[in-house]
Amino acid sequence: MKTIKKLIVLTLVCSLPFMLQSCGDDVRLPDDPITDPEGPAGDDKDDPSGDDQGGKNKIIGRWHKIGSTKSTYNDLSDCEKKTTIVFTENGDYINYANGIKNDICQEYVNRGRWEMSDKEVYTLHVSSERIAFTITVKDDVLKILFTEEDGEKVEASFKRDTTVDETEKQVIGRWGLVKHSEGGGDNLSDCEKKSTIAFTQDKKFVIMNYEEVANKECSLLNTIKGTYEILDKTLIRYTYKKKGTDVGVLLKLTIANDRLQYNSIDDKGDVKATTYYLYQKLKK
């Protein structure tokens, strides 16, 4: 059985068909996310290699694969070009490796934590493994360099996805709840439809939930405040306090025609198509 370290390097650097051909049957690709709570993200604002505008680390964002030591962009299939990696401000990373297996485009996901350990040197934490990579960013191109145990150097290149910026602009504002489905069906009362969610430019959100009380009066049930982060144009993360503990929720995000919908994601990373909240953009 290959180690998690080998798997991470292959998903970041190699194309998936190469992985499947060279690794054989002893590689078990992760079907569900692996999360390591240890290892906060490095953010040395005095280090020009890690500092971007406003002290934001340059690697933060969503990146599309454009080539590697094993293949150029023209060598990549349309399926492989969907391979992306996301680095978040709170220290999470998500790698979506796409490749063709049995004539079907398949996606495999691994997740963990990242931190900046030295100039241009980043450590990825997955399960019990900690792997050091050299990562550079220039002209919106991110390059990940890894040295194998035999001394061979392998590299993968990624292009920044600027659609995240547009999604961040779209989400800002106040939205009114119009539908909520838990496994199918709409069970909202007129009172519950007064519930709202608001997103601000400084990455904060406020949810106000309404519910009918015993005497049939419509009353504010609760207010949830926290921060949000757009991981890509279809993925949003909420962070808020629950009984004094930070809680993070990952949701599938869709915005179209002044309507915002987010779907729940299960423990395996699959989107629950029939479990969602649908909001309508409210006028100021």
User: For 129-184, how does the pLDDT look when each residue is reduced to its tens digit (9 = 90+)?
Assistant: 788 888 999 989 999 888 777 777 888 889 988 777 788 889 999 999 999 888 66
Task: Kindly state the average pLDDT of the residues 77-88.
Answer: 83
What's the CA gap between 270 and 100, in Å, rounded? 19
CB 260 within 8 A of CB 167: no
Looking at the structure, tell me whether residues 137 and 171 fall in a common domain: no
What are the tens digits of pLDDT across the range 231-257? 777 888 888 888 888 888 888 899 999
pLDDT at 112: 83
Looking at the structure, tell me whether residues 26 and 140 fall in a common domain: yes
pLDDT at 219: 94
Looking at the structure, tell me whether residues 204 and 78 fall in a common domain: no
pLDDT at 260 over 80: yes
Looking at the structure, tell me whether residues 79 and 206 fall in a common domain: no
Q: Where are the beta strands (DSSP E) in 88-147?
A: 92-101, 104-118, 121-126, 129-138, 141-147
Angle at Cα 266 formed by Cα 20 and Cα 106, nearest 5°? 25
pLDDT at 62: 84
CB 168 within 8 A of CB 227: no
Tell me which residue range forms the domain holding 57: 4-161
CB 87 within 8 A of CB 61: yes
Looking at the structure, tell me whether residues 146 and 10 fall in a common domain: yes
Looking at the structure, tell me whether residues 55 and 136 fall in a common domain: yes
Name which of 152, 157, 125, 154 is nearest 140 in CA terms: 157
What's the CA gap between 186 and 195, in Å, rounded? 15
- CA-CA-CA-CA torsion for 101, 250, 228, 254, nearest 10 degrees? 60
How many domains are contained in the chain? 2
Burial 90-103 (b: 16+ CB within 10 A, else e): ebbbbbbbbbbeee
| Neighbour-count burial of 283, counting CB atoms closer than 10 A to its CB (0-12 exposed, 13-18 middle, 19+ buried) | exposed
Looking at the structure, tell me whether residues 156 and 177 fall in a common domain: no
Looking at the structure, tell me whether residues 134 and 244 fall in a common domain: no
The CATH code of the domain that includes 211 is: 2.40.128.490
The CATH code of the domain that includes 145 is: 2.40.128.280
**Residue 274 in tokens:** 């029939």
Name which of 228, 1, 226, 4 is nearest 95 in CA terms: 4
* Claim: this prediction has a pTM higher than 0.75: no
